[in-house]
Chains A and B, each alone.
Chain A
């Protein structure tokens, strides 16, 4: 398993080389979400990296509407000669790179893409130009193991770094302090939501929009050896917001993990760490509770819903079954709280209060009151 990371200075490039990295990610300011480098800086950094035999990966990961996309193409072209591969996230950038860039492409599939079929699809669409796929950090160990085994291109995973929660092109911080953005390229704040106990979400606004991160950083250094065994090809370390010197400690733990060293790192690290969903992803486990239980069991026997219940007088049923309701039908009525009542029909009337033998679908049936039944109860056929 190889390591990959970012560099924003000559010094950081040298550190990567010293730490045994074989590649470096450079972020042009105009193309990368958190980029700081001008095109000329990218050029000189790329030259330096190549002198050190490091592969240069240019990150073009912003999302772009049509006009923004068109405006960025000159910058992309200006950076192509500095790159050994392009890293893209917008599917439009992927398509452009496939069609127009004579370079290998790395696709950042970190949003969604939680099934093998989708990942295989991106590889197929890339017509042999995809040299790497960057997996979502929401994947569990089991999924990662399957994907790195079955996919035909090498996979990369964030191993240590910030968790991006939210990305919008809208200027959300400068809206609150317009005078500050006028003199700054970037605004930063820490957010605290009234809805949760979490405090200190890092928020950044720059020319590409506003970004919010998790209060904890993602960390799998204690699982690096396992990931290597599973067959992961690239382990990304993102220390762009941390003391750059911390990279050496992280690399050392990835290569030769010790619990003591890990505890020591955690003690001095600026943020708490989390492993996210690596062990298991249960983010759908609450969904049954969000479901409307009244719908359960609605099938061919479903007649309709009680829309009025007048104690001692009548029940009004909105008939939803194409068969309608006949005076000889027997009923099973499900109260919203789950209680079940069985009833025969002794009186069936229409809205003109006429006694009838049948009420068709889409009309209201009035039957005698059944004790305990209330509005929103669901009515089913109970015919033998």
Chain B
């Protein structure tokens, strides 16, 4: 049996306070969050100062850490506003900040003692670079997604610094921090949170063929999925495994945290992964909205097969988030805040924080006033009969 201390942490995205609670409850060892400024997800809900404090308390009470993203490339006027925020972050017990910009690194060091993680946005790709950031005061490097796990192991050993790698989620096609398409074509600074996702659109390419233009989504990347690479991450001593997606749903935050933490815990207990468990976990990952999965550069350099040459599909796929359990007790049943409507007789799956998925058939549905109903509507509360083990914040999905 492997010691749990040797296992990497699972670091989940939390685009809002609710999602933080979901990710931590489903097993994430740490979450990364953004305040209202200084991060790269301007359009995400993000956290107010009060919510940051509450999120920090909740995570710490559940044994999880909270890292706050300050990973924009700041202009001087933005930097001037940073010290007060940094002091506040230290006051509320922030476990680390995630930074791309050397000016921000210097400011954080000047005004606090918060540990500094260098963001993937800085595209740190090699040990020499890691050594330089260490000299600048970094305690951890979030490597660029172009680095393989084996290379990451070498960087860790040579630079003697904590290493974090992405294991799951959407990917920039460009070296992170080295794409300014939005800046120059839309007037939105992609490196200050204004990325317009130009890489996801279709392009007509002229000149490749003499006869006609070729149409392709040639700059769009498939999504990263590194479940089968978990043993290599552990073998190379990677400290933290990051899941991308602060803009993504509660179902995403919960499912990813649950699957990857269960997989790691299984490894800790058994020292290996059995194929039937892998298939089960992969099935879970496939139930969340995603582009086609790839291991990208985790094992070998990402090649042509890593391009997602398809139009984005806005639907959530076959499985959809039905809602969240807002409370559950034998006294009043399971109360669900409905996001996507379901009908009497539909098969639903409830994800407990730990253990197997609970499958139920929605035979008896009541509205909140206890009146029996046959159909539900989005943005309403409904009751289902109580099931042992189901609790507040559990997620419900269905194949609609």
Contact = CB atoms under 8 A, between A and B. Distances in A.
Do A and B share a complex? yes
A162 B306 CA distance: 28
Interface stretch (B132-140, B257-265, B267-275, B345-353): B132-140
Interface stretch (B3-11, B90-98, B213-221, B356-364): B213-221
Contacts of B73: 111-114
Contacts of B355: none
Contacts of A105: none
A95 B129 CA distance: 7
Contacts of A92: 124-130, 132
Which of B51, B100, B213, B304 has the largest count of A CB atoms less than 10 A from its CB? B304
Interface of B: 17, 36, 42-43, 45-46, 48, 50-51, 54, 73-76, 78-79, 100-107, 122-133, 135-136, 144, 146-148, 151-152, 154-155, 173-175, 177-181, 183-189, 191-194, 196, 198-199, 201-209, 213-214, 216, 218-219, 221, 297, 301-304, 306-307, 309, 326-327, 329, 331-332, 335, 337, 367-370, 379-381, 392
Contact of A283 (B100, B135, B194, B204): B194
SS of A interface (majority) = mixed
A65 B126 contact: yes
Given A176-B205, A286-B187, A352-B331, A65 B125 contact: yes
Interface string A52-84: 000000000001111111000000000000000
Given A167-B174, A170-B302, A286-B188, A195 B54 contact: no
A171 B304 CA distance: 6
Contacts of B78: 115, 284
- 9 smallest A-B Cβ distances: which pairs? A175-B304, A92-B129, A112-B73, A118-B103, A117-B103, A92-B128, A283-B189, A66-B151, A121-B102
A156 interface: no
A66 B189 contact: no
A111 B178 contact: yes
Contact of A314 (B173, B174, B337, B368): B368
Given A176-B208, A180-B208, A281-B75, 17 more contacts: A66-B155, A92-B127, A115-B103, A125-B102, A143-B76, A167-B175, A170-B304, A170-B306, A172-B307, A196-B186, A287-B193, A308-B380, A314-B369, A320-B17, A353-B369, A353-B370, A366-B368
Which of A116, A163, A190 has the largest count of B CB atoms less than 10 A from its CB? A190
Contact of B102 (A69, A117, A366): A117
Contact of A295 (B36, B178, B187, B326): B36
Given A69-B128, A314-B368, A138 B180 contact: yes
Chain A's interface size range is: 35 or more
Interface of A: 63-69, 90-96, 99, 111-122, 125, 138, 143, 146, 163-178, 180, 187-196, 198, 200-201, 203, 212, 214, 276, 281-287, 290-292, 295, 298-300, 302, 307-308, 310, 313-314, 316, 318, 320, 322, 351-353, 362-364, 366, 375-376
A216 B54 CA distance: 48
Which of B203, B306, B331 has the largest count of A CB atoms less than 10 A from its CB? B203
7 contacts: A65-B297, A116-B76, A118-B102, A290-B193, A314-B369, A318-B326, A352-B331
Given A165-B181, A308-B379, A295 B48 contact: yes
Given A92-B127, A173-B218, A190-B207, A316 B381 contact: yes
A122 B173 contact: no
A66 B127 contact: yes
Contacts of B216: 176
A116 B198 CA distance: 29
B173 A172 contact: yes
Given A115-B76, A138-B180, A286-B188, A351 B201 contact: no
B175 A189 contact: no
Contacts of A96: 128
Nearest to B125: A65
Contact of B126 (A66, A125, A214, A292): A66
Contact of A69 (B126, B213, B307): B126
Contacts of B381: 307-308, 316, 364
Nearest to B107: A117
Contacts of B194: 283-284, 286-287, 290
